[in-house]
C-alpha cells in the first residue's frame, strides 16, 4: 500500500513505499529505489509496486528521474528468491518484469535513469527501459547472469544490443563482462556522465519543451 504525506509549506509531496521514495519538485519527479540492505534488489513485490506506481503517475504525467543511492542503482533481481521459484513461477516472474520495463518505456513523458554505483542484472534492464541514462564516473554496469547459469527475461536481451551493438551486448551477456562508466559512455550504453547524475537529469528536464494540453 502506498502512502502520500503532504508536507505543509514545502514544495514537494513525498510518497513512501517499502521499495522506493518518490519526491516531486517543481515539475520533476524523482523516484529513489530503496531497500533495507541498500542494494535496491528488484524482488517480485518491488516490481509489482513499481509497475503500479508508474501506471498511477502516467495519469498525470511529468518528467521523471529514477535513481538509487551512491553505491547501488540496483543490484537486480533477488537471486535467493529466483532460486526458490518453480518453472511456472519463474515464467510469471519474467512476465511481471517485462510488464514493468514496458510500462517504464511507454511512460508518456521523459524518464531519466540517474545511475551511481552498481547497476546490475534486472537493475540494468530497468535503466535500459528508461529513455535516457546519466551515470556518475564510478558507475558500474553488468549482466552477470551467465556466470550463474542465468539470462534475463526482462527485455534486456533486446534493448541492450540496440544501444551498444551485438558484439558488446554478447560480451556483457555471454562473458558476463562489466562496463565502467567511461566504457559505457563510449559504447552508447549511457547518454552522459556527470558527478551528480540526478542534478544533470533535472537540468536536462528543465530544458525540455513544455507540453500544451
Task: Kindly report whether the global pTM for this prediction surpasses the value 0.75.
Answer: yes
Residue 211 lies in a domain: no
CA 88, chain centre distance (Å): 25
61 domain residue, yes or no: yes
Domain assignment present for residue 53? The answer is yes
From first to last of the 213 residues of the chain, give the pLDDT tens digit.
343 333 333 444 455 678 999 887 666 899 999 999 999 999 999 999 999 999 999 998 999 999 999 999 999 998 889 889 898 998 999 999 999 999 999 999 999 999 999 999 999 999 999 999 999 999 999 998 777 777 888 999 999 999 999 999 999 998 888 999 999 999 999 999 999 999 999 999 998 876 644
CATH of the domain at 147: 3.90.226.10
Is residue 213 assigned to a domain?
A: no
Would you state the pLDDT for residue 2?
Answer: 41
pLDDT value of residue 23 = 87
Model pLDDT, residue 176: 85
Looking at residue 26, what is its pLDDT?
67
pLDDT of residue 15: 55
pLDDT the model gives residue 210: 67
73 domain-assigned: yes
pLDDT number for residue 6: 36
Residue 181 maps to a domain: yes
Give first-to-last CA distance, the chain, whole Å: 31
The pLDDT value recorded for residue 152 is 86
Quote the number of domains for the chain. Answer: 1
The edge-to-edge listing of strands for the beta sheet with 140-142 is: 72-74, 118-120, 140-142, 179-180
Grid cell of 110 as nine digits:
521523459
Residue range(s) defining the domain that contains residue 44 = 3-206
Q: Is 63 contained in some domain?
A: yes
- pLDDT score at 5: 37
Q: Is position 150 within any domain?
A: yes
Amino acid at each position: 500500500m502506498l502512502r502520500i504525506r503532504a508536507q505543509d509549506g514545502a514544495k514537494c509531496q513525498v510518497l513512501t513505499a517499502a521499495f522506493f521514495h518518490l519526491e516531486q519538485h517543481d515539475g520533476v519527479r524523482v523516484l529513489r529505489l530503496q531497500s533495507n540492505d541498500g542494494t535496491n534488489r528488484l524482488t517480485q513485490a518491488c516490481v509489482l509496486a513499481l509497475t503500479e506506481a508508474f501506471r498511477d503517475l502516467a495519469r498525470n504525467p511529468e518528467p521523471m528521474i529514477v535513481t538509487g543511492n551512491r553505491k547501488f542503482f540496483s543490484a537486480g533481481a533477488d537471486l535467493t528468491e529466483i532460486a526458490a521459484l518453480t518453472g511456472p513461477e519463474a515464467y510469471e516472474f519474467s512476465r511481471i518484469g517485462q510488464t514493468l520495463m514496458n510500462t517504464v518505456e511507454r511512460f508518456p513523458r521523459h524518464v531519466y535513469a540517474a545511475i551511481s554505483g552498481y547497476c546490475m542484472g534486472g537493475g540494468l534492464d530497468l535503466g535500459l527501459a528508461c529513455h535516457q541514462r546519466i551515470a556518475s564516473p564510478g558507475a558500474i554496469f553488468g549482466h552477470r547472469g551467465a556466470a550463474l547459469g542465468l539470462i534475463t527475461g526482462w527485455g534486456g536481451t533486446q534493448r541492450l544490443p540496440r544501444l551498444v551493438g551485438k558484439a558488446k551486448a554478447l560480451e556483457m551477456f555471454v562473458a558476463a563482462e562489466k562496463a565502467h562508466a567511461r566504457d559505457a559512455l563510449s559504447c552508447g550504453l549511457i547518454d552522459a556522465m556527470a558527478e551528480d547524475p540526478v542534478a544533470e537529469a533535472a537540468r536536462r528536464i528543465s530544458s525540455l519543451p513544455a507540453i500544451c494540453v
